[in-house]
């Protein structure tokens, strides 16, 4: 097969031209970064696991009517997605204080928040992804008011659905980050859909009983057992054969 043309290389993924117009191929790398690129490393097998985990979660979200860019998984590390124009806003939803919110407001990590809190960050590595308000998003023209409303509604639905789903497999969804993109339909309609990925790279996942971290914080904080934690998430989701991250079967539905 002819080599695909690379369109973009990010920190954890490479984007290639897709096989047909309006599609892209997302390749998941094992590379990991943290603290705005200051910490770099590799997590063996992460790309394979995130490809599977993101496929599974996006498919589940499609089932409840949340539009996503996911089309189908192509192989161990690649998935076919719809081409969108990424909105440069990271939407973070938090249920339990951890990471930057704990530092900013001196709330001990692990404190359940009075209600789910949504934050927006401007997606800009040079600026270190600054925290922004809806006023910045609409004022600077990064998204229209109705698009912000759609992103907010979808992010909250993702949170409700995933919180319940993870709790069912003994995992607390502490917080997560999602990104959205504009899908340009042939009839001229523009639709805001969920894009990027959903994986332990951009969610905080804690074991419901022990509060053990099962996400990228293990890498950020040099805790070790990073691969094992990602594998355990996949195993509990029912998408990892007991023997390891072999590419043997498609995702199975949870009992």
Per CB under 6 A, 218 contacts ligand UDP: no
Residue choice 203, 237, 239, 240 for contact with ligand UDP (CB under 6 A): 203
Choose the stretch contacting ligand UDP; rule: CB under 6 A; options: 18-26, 61-69, 79-87, 201-209.
201-209
What does the chain come to in residues? 255
Which residue, 177 or 218, is less far from ligand UDP as judged by CB? 177
- The CB-of-44 to ligand UDP minimum distance in angstroms stands at 20
- The CB-of-2 to ligand UDP minimum distance in angstroms stands at 33
Residue 238's contacts (CB-CB under 8 Å, 6 or more residues apart) are 251, 252, 253, 254, 255
Tokens 């943290």 found at: 34
DSSP three-state, residue 237: helix
205 token code pair: 């996942």
Per CB under 6 A, 202 contacts ligand UDP: yes
Residue 156's contacts (CB-CB under 8 Å, 6 or more residues apart) are 93, 116, 118
Residue with nearest beta carbon to ligand UDP: 99
Which residue, 193 or 198, is less far from ligand UDP as judged by CB? 198
Per-residue contact string for residues 146-185; x = within reach of ligand UDP by CB under 6 A: -----------------------------xxx--------
Residue choice 99, 118, 161, 227 for contact with ligand UDP (CB under 6 A): 99
DSSP string, 5-63: PEEEE-SSEEEEE-SSTTEEEEEE-SEEEETTTTEEEE-TTHHHHHHHHHHHHHHHHHH
Q: What 8-state DSSP symbol labels residue 149?
A: H
Per CB under 6 A, 116 contacts ligand UDP: no
Which residue, 112 or 146, is less far from ligand UDP as judged by CB? 112
């Amino acid at each position: 097969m002819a080599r695909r043309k690379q369109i973009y290389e990010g920190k954890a993924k490479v984007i290639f031209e897709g096989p047909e117009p309006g599609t892209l191929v997302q390749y998941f790398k094992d590379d990991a970064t943290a603290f705005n690129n200051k910490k770099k490393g590799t997590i063996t097998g992460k790309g394979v696991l995130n490809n599977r985990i993101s496929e599974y979660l996006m498919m589940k979200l499609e089932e409840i009517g949340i539009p996503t860019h996911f089309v189908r998984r192509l192989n161990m590390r690649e998935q076919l997605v719809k081409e969108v124009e990424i909105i440069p806003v990271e939407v973070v939803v938090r249920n339990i204080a951890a990471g930057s919110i704990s530092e900013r407001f001196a709330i001990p990590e692990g404190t359940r928040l009075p209600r789910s809190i949504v934050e927006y960050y401007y997606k800009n590595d040079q600026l270190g992804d600054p925290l922004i308000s809806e006023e910045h998003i609409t004022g600077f023209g990064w998204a229209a008011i109705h698009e912000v409303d759609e992103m907010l509604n979808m992010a909250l639905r993702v949170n409700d659905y995933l919180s319940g789903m993870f709790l069912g497999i003994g995992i607390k969804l502490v917080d997560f980050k999602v990104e959205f993109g504009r899908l340009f339909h042939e009839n001229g309609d523009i639709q805001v859909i969920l894009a990027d990925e959903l994986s332990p790279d951009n969610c905080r996942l804690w074991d419901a009983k022990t509060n053990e971290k099962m996400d990228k914080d293990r890498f950020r904080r040099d805790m070790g057992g990073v691969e094992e934690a990602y594998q355990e998430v996949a195993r509990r989701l029912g998408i990892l054969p007991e023997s390891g991250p072999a590419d043997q079967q498609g995702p199975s539905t949870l009992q």
